[in-house]
Amino acid sequence: MSLEQVAGLSRRDGAVQEIRRAIVKGALRPGEKVTEVGLAAQLGISRPTLREALNQLAREGLLVQEPYRGMRVAELSLSAHLDLARTREALDLLAVDAILADETGGRMAALDAHWQRFAAVETHPDPLLRHEAHVAFHRAIWEASENEVLVRVWPVIEAHITVALAQDQAIRSDPARASTQHHALVDALHSGDRSAIERAIHEHTISSAEELVAILDRSAVAASPRAATRA
């Protein structure tokens, strides 16, 4: 793993961004233990400043504090990946119904503005920039619905989405595939066809999660002691 030293008005914020980038890129992998001494040296900051950054990332849900063992990168179980996808599918459809019900078109226009910002960077070489624009677009779907409960629930879901995307990034980085799925989703939203929208959301959430879980499951089986013995 290689991290850039941070500088600027807030070294803590710079450290947060650089560590978040390492997680999104898969340089810090899901479940990996975070070593303060090594990170502080690579980032060129003091350990107290690093701890502030790590605590911020823990509050965001990207890191997990373990008693007497320090911090590690958060990860989702196979079942949690599927549960997250099912939850997102149901709530995305709830948001979409509210957007389509707006006869003024204002909600769809608000979503389109976020889509344009995401589309402008969806193939950018910086994975953190792509990731943040990706998450912002999905947040915009809920915000455009003007459903107050969805907006309040989003921060919890966002933390899980970021962890899931980090695991996905570590296994299969494919911006072109993600772009195709998102364009299909936006086209379906503009069509107003509820069945087409359901299919697009299902493909983007459920099918994608099932594919990732299958990959993770095969990797776990291949890495098991029994598999190594058979080999």
- Average pLDDT on 26-51 reads 90
DSSP string, 161-214: HHHHHHHHHHH---HHHHHHHHHHHHHHHHHT-HHHHHHHHHIIIIIHHHHHHH
- Average pLDDT on 69-75 reads 89
- Average pLDDT on 157-179 reads 82
Widest distance between CA atoms in the chain: 64
* pLDDT computed for residue 52 by the predictor: 94
Instruction: Measure the CA–CA gap between 70 and 92, rounded to whole angstroms.
Output: 35
Length in residues, the chain: 231
Above 90 in pLDDT, residue 26?
A: no
- Average pLDDT on 72-79 reads 92
Instruction: Measure the CA–CA gap between 50 and 37, rounded to whole angstroms.
Output: 9
Instruction: Measure the CA–CA gap between 188 and 198, rounded to whole angstroms.
Output: 9
| CATH for the stretch 78-221 | 1.20.120.530
Instruction: For residue 222, count CB atoms less than 10 angstroms from its CB and return exposed for 0-12, middle for 13-18, buried for 19 or more.
Output: exposed
Per domain, the residue ranges of the chain are 11-73, 78-221
* pLDDT computed for residue 142 by the predictor: 97
The closest alpha carbon to 1, from 12, 87, 18, belongs to 18
Does the structural domain 11-73 have CATH classification 3.10.20.30? Answer: no
* pLDDT computed for residue 7 by the predictor: 57
Encoding tokens for residue 90? 């149901």
Do 78-221 and 11-73 fall under one CATH topology?
no
CB 84 within 8 A of CB 164: yes
11 vs 203: which has the higher pLDDT: 203
Instruction: Measure the CA–CA gap between 92 and 203, rounded to whole angstroms.
Output: 13
How far apart, in Å, are the Cα atoms of 134 and each of 42, 114, 144?
28, 10, 15
Predicted confidence band of residue 60 (pLDDT cuts 50, 70, 90): confident
Q: What is the pLDDT of residues 79-129, one digit of tens each?
A: 999 999 999 999 999 999 999 999 999 999 999 999 999 999 988 888 888
Above 70 in pLDDT, residue 225?
A: no
- Average pLDDT on 18-23 reads 90
173 vs 157: which has the higher pLDDT: 157
Encoding tokens for residue 57? 């990332």
pTM of the entire predicted model: 0.81
* pLDDT computed for residue 71 by the predictor: 92
